[in-house]
């Protein structure tokens, strides 16, 4: 049995992290048996992040490594894709995970109106009298890393403008049900999980409103969730 170490459900999603949701989708797509184990503190994980899977006492951390492990067991998430499509898939995954994801983080951690809800959802286990103090110490380096990478320096309007061409590119690719036709592939697990994260942010943000208002993207996320969760 495979155990998926994941964050708790949050904001109507099966996990607070889009990467944990991606891992759930990959496990389901691979058709393997798995069970979730909820962690709130990832510091003991190999990369101090989630998701990870535990198989026969061994930890495999990071959703891309989980994918590689499943592929090593015989899964092929992109079975009908040409080499060219597989290359495009890789680029889409990077766009979703190394760019769009940080907009989810900026909305949830960087927006002062959203932060109190994020804090109480993610860190509700910390006693209230010390929660503000403890979580400020966790929030600060997250904000600093967003500033360091650049998007933390943008106004919300500039940030939406930076995400917009990516969102449009995803919508433009959705001629079929999924990114590469009528069957879900690995790229759908990565892209839909990040879009779902944007949509699930519980307080209105420019980005959340943009994605929630886009019927093509909303219907796409719904289809991927129905197929893979």
Q: Which stretch binds ligand GSH (CB under 6 A): 47-55, 88-96, 146-154, 208-216?
A: 47-55
Rama region for 12: left / alpha / beta (φ>0; ψ in -120 to 50; rest):
left
The residue count for binding ligand GSH (CB under 6 A) is 10
DSSP H or E run through 72: helix 63-72
Interaction between residue 51 and ligand GSH (CB under 6 A): yes
Q: CB nearer to ligand GSH: give 71 or 174.
A: 71
Smallest separation (angstroms) from ligand GSH to the CB of 99: 13
Q: Which two tokens stand for residue 122?
A: 């993610």
Smallest separation (angstroms) from ligand GSH to the CB of 183: 23
Interaction between residue 194 and ligand GSH (CB under 6 A): no
Q: Contacting ligand GSH (CB under 6 A), which of 3, 28, 49, 131?
A: 49
Considering only the C-alpha atoms of the chain, give the largest distance between any 2 of them, rounded to a whole number of Å: 56
For the chain, the straight-line distance linking the first and the last C-alpha, in angstroms and rounded, comes to: 18
Q: Which stretch binds ligand GSH (CB under 6 A): 45-53, 75-83, 129-137, 209-217?
A: 45-53
Smallest separation (angstroms) from ligand GSH to the CB of 189: 11
Q: Which stretch binds ligand GSH (CB under 6 A): 49-57, 124-132, 181-189, 214-222?
A: 49-57
DSSP string, 111-148: -TTTHHHHHHHHSTTS-HHHHHHHHHHHHHHHHHHHHH
Contacts of 212 (CB under 8 A, 6+ apart): 199, 218
Q: Which stretch binds ligand GSH (CB under 6 A): 46-54, 108-116, 122-130, 203-211?
A: 46-54
DSSP H or E run through 70: helix 63-72
Mask 10-39, x = binds ligand GSH (CB under 6 A)?
A: -------x-x--------------------
Q: How far apart are CA 92 and CA 96, in angstroms?
A: 6
Give the chain's radius of gyration (CA, Å): 17
Query: Pairing relation of β-strands 52-55 and 2-6?
Result: antiparallel
Interaction between residue 167 and ligand GSH (CB under 6 A): no
Binders in 58-97 for ligand GSH, by CB under 6 A: 62-64
Evaluate whether 100 touches 18 at the Cβ level (below 8 Å).
no
Under the rule (CB under 6 A), what is the footprint of ligand GSH? 17, 19, 42, 48-51, 62-64
């Amino acid at each position: 049995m495979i155990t998926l170490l994941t964050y708790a459900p949050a904001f109507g999603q099966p996990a607070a992290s889009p990467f944990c949701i991606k891992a759930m989708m990959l496990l389901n797509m691979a058709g393997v048996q798995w069970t979730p184990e909820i962690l709130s503190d990832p510091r003991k994980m190999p990369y101090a992040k989630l998701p990870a899977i535990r198989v026969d006492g061994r930890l495999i951390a990071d959703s891309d490594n989980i994918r590689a492990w499943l592929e090593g067991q015989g899964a092929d998430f992109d079975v009908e894709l040409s080499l060219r499509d597989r290359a495009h898939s890789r680029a889409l995954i990077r766009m979703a995970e190394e760019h769009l994801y940080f907009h989810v983080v900026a909305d949830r951690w960087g927006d002062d109106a959203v932060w109190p809800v994020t804090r109480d959802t993610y860190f509700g286990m910390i006693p209230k009298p010390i929660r503000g103090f403890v979580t400020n110490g966790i929030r600060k380096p997250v904000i600093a890393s967003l500033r360091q990478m650049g998007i933390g320096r943008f106004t919300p309007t500039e940030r939406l403008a930076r995400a917009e061409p990516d969102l449009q590119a995803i919508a433009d690719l959705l001629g079929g049900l999924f990114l590469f036709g009528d069957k879900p592939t690995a790229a759908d697990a990565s892209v839909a999980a990040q879009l779902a994260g944007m949509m699930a942010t519980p307080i209105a943000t420019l980005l959340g409103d943009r994605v929630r208002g886009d019927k093509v993207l909303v219907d796409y996320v719904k289809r991927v969730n129905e197929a893979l969760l």
